[in-house]
Structure 1
Amino acid sequence: MTQQANDDRPGIAAAVIVSEGRVLLVRRRVKEGQLSWQFPAGEVEPGESDEDAAVRETREETGLEVKALKSLGSRIHPKTQRHMSYTACEVVAGTAHVADPDELAELAWCSHAEISHYVPYGLYAPVQLYLDHIMKG
């Protein structure tokens, strides 16, 4: 069998949050490989859905209350080899800030044109298509 050791680790759920034509990105205090700027994300807890984990992690990391809209897909991340799920979310309440300074260094609301500056290696294709549609639409 060719299972990887990482398969025992919980999956990571990411929240793709667009508000007023900008997408929320966070910069981790500790890089995970090449990854520095990314979507609010964290490990899925036992018994938790990917969508619920994305909502919870967003609240814990940024103080924003968001609502899951739909799944944008999942994959084994090519840089970290972790199972990643992506959930489109909308802001329900709050103002984004670094709510967990142990995890995050800063955050930014990025325009569509700025995404490649923050994430130069590109986004997961279904996420990029969603952002192309919702941010350029």
Structure 2
Amino acid sequence: MPSASAIDAIWRPHVTVACVVSDGARYLMVEEEVNGRLAYNQPAGHLEDRERLVDAAVRETLEETGWTVEPTHLIGVHQWRSTEHGEGMIRFSFAARPDRHDPARPLDAGIRRALWLDRAEIAALGGQLRSPLVLASIDAWLAGARLPLDVLHAWPHGTTP
């Protein structure tokens, strides 16, 4: 078994999830404060310990927008090095249907509001997009990228497949 220092030396990317939630030609977005600037993103965030990827996507969407969604597909897995903090990222992008909205639900810290924008409005935000993965995920969705959710597998902690 490797030593604790060897394990600590292993590079570990941040694992994140995002939801492309469409309502016709509009997409659910969040306007957020990031390092003193205004940025736009899909509902997105980090995977938590022992959490399934699809559950993280649903949780992050609810926490950031007040929308409960139903994931329908995996759009893709994107690897990227953040220009914001320099860390490596692995992002799982999901497609989801809006189910219900709770406008009274408080949004995560830093989230100013949730809003619906069409692709042209999102593209026009340019440098205000949190990352290039925002538009890439929408474009992948529009191009027909749809993997079934059952391509993802999670085993309960302590068990083997």
Query: TM-score per shorter chain, which class?
Result: 0.7 to 0.9
2:21 to 17, 23, 29: 17
Bigger Rg over Cα: 2
Q: Is 1:66 matched with 2:69? A: yes
TM-score normalised by the chain length of structure 2 = 0.65
For structure 2, the 5+ residue unaligned runs are 1-8, 145-161
TM-score normalised by the chain length of structure 1 = 0.75
Could you tell me which residue of structure 1 aligns to residue 111 of structure 2? 104
Q: How does 1:30-49 map to 2 (within 5 A)?
A: 30-31=34-35, 36-49=39-52
Tell me if the contact between 2:47 and 2:56 (Cα under 8 Å) persists in the aligned partners. Answer: yes
Give 1:117 shift.
Answer: 1.2
> For residues 97 and 31 of structure 1, what CA distance do their matches in structure 2 show?
26
**Identical pairs, percent:** 27
Q: Is 1:130 matched with 2:141? A: yes
Give the aligned residue type for 2:34.
Answer: V
- Stretch moving more, 119-128 or 53-62: 119-128
CA RMSD of aligned residues (A): 3.1
User: Judging changes above 3 Å, is the alpha-carbon distance between structure 1 residues 7 and 58 closer, same or farther for their aligned structure 2 residues?
Assistant: farther
1:86 to 93, 105, 127: 93
- Stretch moving more, 88-97 or 18-27: 88-97
For structure 1, the 5+ residue unaligned runs are none
